[in-house]
């Protein structure tokens, strides 16, 4: 398997630290709001990474943190006239709920920053004792000048990085790149006791503690959105390097940006969508399909048109699956056609998680299922394979069916059923009936096209 490593800017062979085991960490949310669809892209993608390793037989430890103390949470608490812990608890629950509704499997561990405060303080103390941190007026900073590998993850010169970022003048720091490990408290802010006085930790340290606590000082894969490479991940890695001389993770994976109708998503442009907003209009599988139909490192452009297309595409897979009872497939029968498609699926996934290629294999299986000229055991085996491979991408989860209605959306299945009767009519040369079915479907806005491979349908808006 090849994985693109942000650190080396190249695809590398994946070799786990421990054979048969994957230790994966991906940055979770800072809980001060509902998460947006850009965040959803990262959460869904790393869920698929986890699912694929499990499909390959790995024992996966997947840690995703919840940042429940941060400037943004404090700001939101002031705006809503609540305690920071109420804000954090409310949006952490909303995060868990929305993740579940997106079909994201709960990570192995989901630690929260406020639960590991003593460990955070101990880590900062260790950095200070080793000469990598200094205290000024109750604030503790990481001394980037002491670590010669600083900048090795993001790869650019620190001056360049800082020129691109907004740097607030801070006269306490020795160097502009030095970052806060511990923040002295201002009046009215939540506080914890520490050797440097009352205060609270910096975000970069929280992630180091929560990942290392469950995965060890160095682990396999660290993931997150591309916007986290600098300074967040650079600063996480710097602390690990300072502590043990080992990088925090061997492979650093980052998913690309999300735009909306060609623009950067922002609240001021009124093109800002939370995952919760989108789940009101589209099922989770359509959202997953939309993200996974594009390579994770490419930027992705969100639009309602593409979402509607994605919705139709997953319905298409579902309607194919509904044609066969995949549980009836005999275990022992091997079909070389199916094995070849499964190999293509894995080849796609093994090539730095090319989920678009993997999805193409699902449609190949669907067309075998639909082809009534093929023998039933082969079509059943295709259905079994479609169910298994689709599940790797998080499709076909029973629990994703909307809870408020007892019946799923049956339209796609019903159209398939009507089309099967129409083919029977055609086989019996009953052209009058076959044409009547075509015309009546057309009146409902369903266009059908006959071809040598069978009849295809589409919704004509
Ligand atoms: Zn993080």
Say which CATH number the domain at 34 has.
3.40.50.620
Distance from Cα 461 to the centre of ligand 1, integer Å: 44
Distance from Cα 54 to the centre of ligand 1, integer Å: 23
Distance from Cα 459 to the centre of ligand 1, integer Å: 43
What pLDDT score does 460 carry?
A: 74
Beta carbons of 9 and 352 less than 8 angstroms apart: no
**Under DSSP, is residue 249 helix (H, G, I), strand (E, B) or coil?**
strand
What pLDDT score does 405 carry?
A: 41
Distance from Cα 27 to the centre of ligand 1, integer Å: 4
* CATH at 339: 1.20.120.640
Distance from Cα 397 to the centre of ligand 1, integer Å: 29
Distance from Cα 232 to the centre of ligand 1, integer Å: 6
What values do phi and psi take at 451, rounded to 5? Answer: -150, 170
**Under DSSP, is residue 455 helix (H, G, I), strand (E, B) or coil?**
strand
Degrees, nearest 5: CA angle 322-328-333: 120
What values do phi and psi take at 391, rounded to 5? Answer: -65, -30
The order of strands in the sheet holding 300-302 is 263-264, 258-260, 300-302
Q: Is the pLDDT of residue 11 over 60?
A: yes
Beta carbons of 354 and 6 less than 8 angstroms apart: no
Q: Is residue 285 part of a domain?
A: no
Q: Is residue 52 part of a domain?
A: yes
H helices of 167-264, in order, are: 203-215, 234-244
| 449: Cα within 13 Å, side-chain hemisphere | 7
Which of the four pLDDT bands, split at 50, 70 and 90, describes residue 380?
A: very high
Distance from Cα 205 to the centre of ligand 1, integer Å: 8
Q: Are residue 241 and residue 332 in the same domain, yes or no?
A: no
- What mean pLDDT do residues 149-167 have? 75
Q: Are residue 417 and residue 319 in the same domain, yes or no?
A: no
Q: Which of 10-24, 120-134, 281-295, 423-437 has the lowest mean pLDDT?
A: 423-437
Measured distance between the N- and C-terminal CA atoms of the chain, rounded to whole angstroms: 42
Split into its structural domains, the chain has a count of: 3
* Average pLDDT taken over every residue of the chain: 92
Q: Are residue 248 and residue 348 in the same domain, yes or no?
A: no
Q: Is residue 265 part of a domain?
A: no
Distance from Cα 211 to the centre of ligand 1, integer Å: 9
Q: Which residue has the higher pLDDT, 413 or 332?
A: 413
Q: Are residue 314 and residue 209 in the same domain, yes or no?
A: no
Tokens matching residue 121 = 């303080």
Distance from Cα 204 to the centre of ligand 1, integer Å: 6
What pLDDT score does 332 carry?
A: 60
User: pLDDT of 225-278, one tens digit each?
Assistant: 999 999 999 999 999 999 999 999 999 999 999 999 989 888 788 889 999 999
Distance from Cα 253 to the centre of ligand 1, integer Å: 13
Tokens matching residue 392 = 């790797």
Q: Are residue 421 and residue 374 in the same domain, yes or no?
A: no
Distance from Cα 243 to the centre of ligand 1, integer Å: 17
Tokens matching residue 132 = 């990598």
Q: Is residue 357 part of a domain?
A: yes
- Domain with 133, as residue range(s), is 2-260
Distance from Cα 291 to the centre of ligand 1, integer Å: 22
What values do phi and psi take at 250, rounded to 5? Answer: -80, -40
Distance from Cα 419 to the centre of ligand 1, integer Å: 51
Tokens matching residue 366 = 């669907």
Q: Are residue 57 and residue 195 in the same domain, yes or no?
A: yes
Q: Is residue 266 part of a domain?
A: no
Q: Is residue 290 part of a domain?
A: no
- What mean pLDDT do residues 442-458 have? 84
Beta carbons of 419 and 79 less than 8 angstroms apart: no
Q: Are residue 255 and residue 317 in the same domain, yes or no?
A: no
> What stretch of H or E contains 416?
helix 411-427
Q: Is the pLDDT of residue 404 over 50?
A: no
Q: Are residue 168 and residue 216 in the same domain, yes or no?
A: yes
Among candidate residues 226, 260, 294, the one where a domain is terminated: 260
Q: Are residue 202 and residue 250 in the same domain, yes or no?
A: yes
Among candidate residues 400, 430, 447, the one where a domain is terminated: 400
What pLDDT score does 163 carry?
A: 65
Q: Are residue 21 and residue 156 in the same domain, yes or no?
A: yes
Residue 25, C-beta contacts closer than 8 angstroms, at least 6 positions apart: 62, 63, 64, 65, 207, 210, 211, 215, 219, 221, 222, 223, 249
Tokens matching residue 427 = 């086989």
Q: How far apart are CA 350 and CA 250, in angstroms?
A: 17
Q: Is 2 exposed, middle or buried (0-12, 13-18, 19+ CB in 10 A)?
A: middle
Bridge partners, 10 (sequence order): 5
Outline where DSSP puts E strands in 122-215. 133-136, 139-142, 179-184, 199-201
Q: Are residue 50 and residue 145 in the same domain, yes or no?
A: yes
Beta carbons of 429 and 422 less than 8 angstroms apart: no
Q: Is residue 79 part of a domain?
A: yes
Distance from Cα 26 to the centre of ligand 1, integer Å: 7
Distance from Cα 81 to the centre of ligand 1, integer Å: 27
Q: How far apart are CA 134 and CA 131, in angstroms?
A: 8
Q: Is the pLDDT of residue 4 over 60?
A: yes
Beta carbons of 314 and 366 less than 8 angstroms apart: no
Distance from Cα 219 to the centre of ligand 1, integer Å: 14
Q: Is residue 280 part of a domain?
A: no
CB environment 142-157: b (16+ within 10 A), e (fewer): bbbebbeebbebbeee
CB environment 368-382: b (16+ within 10 A), e (fewer): bbbeeeeeeebbbbb
Q: Are residue 97 and residue 242 in the same domain, yes or no?
A: yes
User: pLDDT of 301-335, one tens digit each?
Assistant: 999 999 999 999 999 999 999 998 766 666 666 89
Among candidate residues 260, 295, 318, the one where a domain is terminated: 260
């Amino acid at each position: 398997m090849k994985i693109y490593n942000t650190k080396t800017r190249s695809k590398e062979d994946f070799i786990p630290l421990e054979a048969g085991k994957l230790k994966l960490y991906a940055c979770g949310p800072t809980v001060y709001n509902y998460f947006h669809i850009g965040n959803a892209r990262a959460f869904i993608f790393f869920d698929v990474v986890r699912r694929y390793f499990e499909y390959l037989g790995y024992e996966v430890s997947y840690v995703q943190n919840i940042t429940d103390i941060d400037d943004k949470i404090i700001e939101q608490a002031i705006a809503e006239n609540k305690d920071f812990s109420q804000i954090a608890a409310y949006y952490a629950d909303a995060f868990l709920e929305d993740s579940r509704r997106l079909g994201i499997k709960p990570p192995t561990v989901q630690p929260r920053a406020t639960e590991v405060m003593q460990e955070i303080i101990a880590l900062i103390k260790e950095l200070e004792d080793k000469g990598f941190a200094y205290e000024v007026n109750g604030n503790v900073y990481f001394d980037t000048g002491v670590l010669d590998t600083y900048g090795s993850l993001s790869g650019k010169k620190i001056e360049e990085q800082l020129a691109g970022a907004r740097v607030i003048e801070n006269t306490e720091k020795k160097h502009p790149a030095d970052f806060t490990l511990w923040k002295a408290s201002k009046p009215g802010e939540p506080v914890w006791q520490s050797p440097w006085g009352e205060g609270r930790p910096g975000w970069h340290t929280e992630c180091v503690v929560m990942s290392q606590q469950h995965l060890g000082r160095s682990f396999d894969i660290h993931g997150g959105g591309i916007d986290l490479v600098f300074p967040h991940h650079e600063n996480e890695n710097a602390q690990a390097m300072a502590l043990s001389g080992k990088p925090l993770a061997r492979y650093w994976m980052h998913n690309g940006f999300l735009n909306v109708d060609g623009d950067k998503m922002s609240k001021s442009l009124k093109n800002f969508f939370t995952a919760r907003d989108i789940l009101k209009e589209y099922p989770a599988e359509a959202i997953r399909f939309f993200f996974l139909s594009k390579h994770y490192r490419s930027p992705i452009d969100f639009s309602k048109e593409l979402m509607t297309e994605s919705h139709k595409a997953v319905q298409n897979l579902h309607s194919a699956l509904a044609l066969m009872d995949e549980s009836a497939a005999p275990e022992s029968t091997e079909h070389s056609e199916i094995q070849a498609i499964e190999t293509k699926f894995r080849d796609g996934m093994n090539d730095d998680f090319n989920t678009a290629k993997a999805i193409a294999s699902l449609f190949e299986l669907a067309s075998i299922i639909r082809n009534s000229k093929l023998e039933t055991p082969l079509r059943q085996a295709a259905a079994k394979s479609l169910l298994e491979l689709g599940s790797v991408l998080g499709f076909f989860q029973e629990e994703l069916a909307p809870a408020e209605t007892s019946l799923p959306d049956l339209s796609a299945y019903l159209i398939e059923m009507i089309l099967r009767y129409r083919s029977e009519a055609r086989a019996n040369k009953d052209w009058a009936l076959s044409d009547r079915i075509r015309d009546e479907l057309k009146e409902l806005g369903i266009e059908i096209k006959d071809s040598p491979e069978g009849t295809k349908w589409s919704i004509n808006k």
